[in-house]
Amino acid sequence: MAETLIDLPKNTTHVTCERLQQRLADAIVLHTHAKQAHWNVKGPAFIALHELFDRLAALAGEQADRLAERIVALGQRAQGTAQDVVRMTRLPDWPQGVGSGFEHLNALARATAAYANGLRADARAVDEVGEMVSADLLVTLAGETDKMLWMLEAHLAADA
Ligand SMILES: [Fe+2]
C-alpha cells in the first residue's frame, strides 16, 4: 500500500520533498548556529542578543519540525540526522573566530537570509509543480523568518 492516499503525481511529490528536505537541513543548521551564538555572545548588548538568538533558535527548531512532518505526510522519510544535515544544507558554515556581538549578528543574519531566500525560491518551485499546500507552508515559514531577519538587521544598523 502507498504511504499516503494524498493524490499528487509522483514527480510533484518528488520535487516537493526534495525542496522540503533541503530546507529541513537548513533549519536544523540554523538552529545550531543560533544556539552557538546564544551561548557565546558577550558584550554591552549581551542580554538583548542572548535572548534574540534564542528566539531564532526556537523558530528554526519549530520550523524544522513543520518541514519534516510535511515530508512524512507526503509519504516520504524525513532525513534529519547530523550526517544528513551536513550533506544537504546550503547554509554557510559558522565562521571561525566569531567574537563581538556584531560578528555574531552578522554571521546569523547571513545564515538566516540564506534560509529565508531558499524558502521563497522553494515556494515558487513547489507551486509550479502543483503542490499548493507545501507552497503555502513555505510562504508562511518565509514570512516568519523574514521577521526574524529584520530584527537581526535592525541590531546591525545600530553598529553601522
Ligand atoms: Fe539558553
CA distance 121 to 113: 12
Report CA(54)–ligand 1 centroid distance (Å): 7
Confidence (pLDDT) at 152:
96
3-class SS letters over the chain: CCCCCCCCCHHHHHHHHHHHHHHHHHHHHHHHHHHHHHHHCCCCCHHHHHHHHHHHHHHHHHHHHHHHHHHHHCCCCCCCCHHHHHHHCCCCCCCCCCCCHHHHHHHHHHHHHHHHHHHHHHHHHHHHCCCHHHHHHHHHHHHHHHHHHHHHHHHHHHHC
Report CA(128)–ligand 1 centroid distance (Å): 40
Examine residue 3 and state whether it is found in any structural domain, yes or no: no
The domain in which residue 120 lies consists of 10-159
Sequential pLDDT tens for the chain (160 residues): 568 989 899 999 999 999 999 999 999 999 999 999 999 999 999 999 999 999 999 999 999 999 999 999 999 999 999 999 999 999 999 999 998 999 999 999 999 999 999 999 999 999 999 999 999 999 999 999 999 999 999 998 855 5
Examine residue 1 and state whether it is found in any structural domain, yes or no: no
CA distance readout (Å), 72 to 44, 47, 50, 76, 95 = 44, 38, 33, 5, 33
CA distance readout (Å), 89 to 45, 85, 114, 116, 134 = 30, 6, 10, 13, 19
Report CA(10)–ligand 1 centroid distance (Å): 42
Q: For residue 112, what is the domain's CATH number?
A: 1.20.1260.10
Confidence (pLDDT) at 158:
59
Residue 62's closest CA among 146, 153, 122, 145?
Answer: 145
Confidence (pLDDT) at 38:
97
The CA-based angle 12-70-94, given to 5 degrees, is 105
Confidence (pLDDT) at 3:
82
Report CA(79)–ligand 1 centroid distance (Å): 26
Report CA(53)–ligand 1 centroid distance (Å): 9
Report CA(18)–ligand 1 centroid distance (Å): 32
Examine residue 2 and state whether it is found in any structural domain, yes or no: no
Examine residue 34 and state whether it is found in any structural domain, yes or no: yes
| Domain count across the chain | 1
Report CA(62)–ligand 1 centroid distance (Å): 16
Examine residue 4 and state whether it is found in any structural domain, yes or no: no
